[in-house]
A = this chain, B = another copy of it.
């Protein structure tokens, strides 16, 4: 049986403007690979209603799971929850369960539970809440779509809350071999090798370091015996490199 597939949607202008480098994508990719879920596509869009709604519709229909990050805070540019509700044709309003969590938190920390903070209790009607052990304001799941915060510490905690609830696939094993020869020398034998091991995914990642050309060849597969066999063969093939 093939492993479940997933996509990620990153919402916000930070990465698109070059202001920050992504952290959440890298974390999610690693966590999904460990859990046996195959991350197949990532999209990054800005805080624009129609862009978000159409990406959510397209990705939630094309893959088994969709994970989103960003846009669920209290400020004017946080429009993700409303966009998710629109994409799934659900109504959205302040929901009692989320409101109660937040009200208790702000009472405990002696901060004003003002209108902006109350916006974080806006949750689509049929969503399930995702626990936020870092800063309380919850994420949520609608059908196959898991909506999480953009702040890395919160995003990571939410991923760890969601993943154990999802069916795991066969974990994907991988082994990599560094070859200090240009890809042009490697490509011929590697292509023949790939044709002999169709069950393995075989990637060639070229590098250039101080004028030295080479490539890391990465083998991936669900069957660890097959992977070991393939890797031994790969080592023999490039023993002179």
Contacts and interface: CB of A to CB of B under 8 A. Distances in A.
Interface string A77-91: 100000000000000
A151 B206 CA distance: 7
Nearest to A58: B58
Nearest to A114: B188
Nearest to A195: B76
Contacts of A73: 183, 187, 204, 206
A30 B15 CA distance: 9
Interface in A195-218: 201-208, 213, 215, 218
Contacts of A14: 203, 205
A217 B50 CA distance: 24
A74 B184 contact: yes
B21 A75 contact: no
Contacts of A234: none
A86 to B, nearest CB: 19
Interface in A96-119: 111-112, 114-117, 119
A51 B58 CA distance: 13
Given A15-B42, A40-B45, A183-B73, A115 B188 contact: yes
A17 B73 CA distance: 29
How many identical subunits does the complex contain?
Answer: 2
A134 interface: yes
A29 B185 CA distance: 33
Interface in A32-84: 32-33, 39-47, 51, 73-77
Given A13-B201, A194-B76, A187 B43 contact: no
A191 interface: yes
A40 B29 contact: no
15 contacts: A15-B42, A16-B29, A17-B174, A18-B29, A18-B30, A74-B184, A111-B182, A112-B184, A114-B184, A114-B185, A116-B187, A116-B191, A135-B208, A135-B213, A151-B208
Interface in A20-36: 20-22, 25-26, 28-33
A236 interface: no
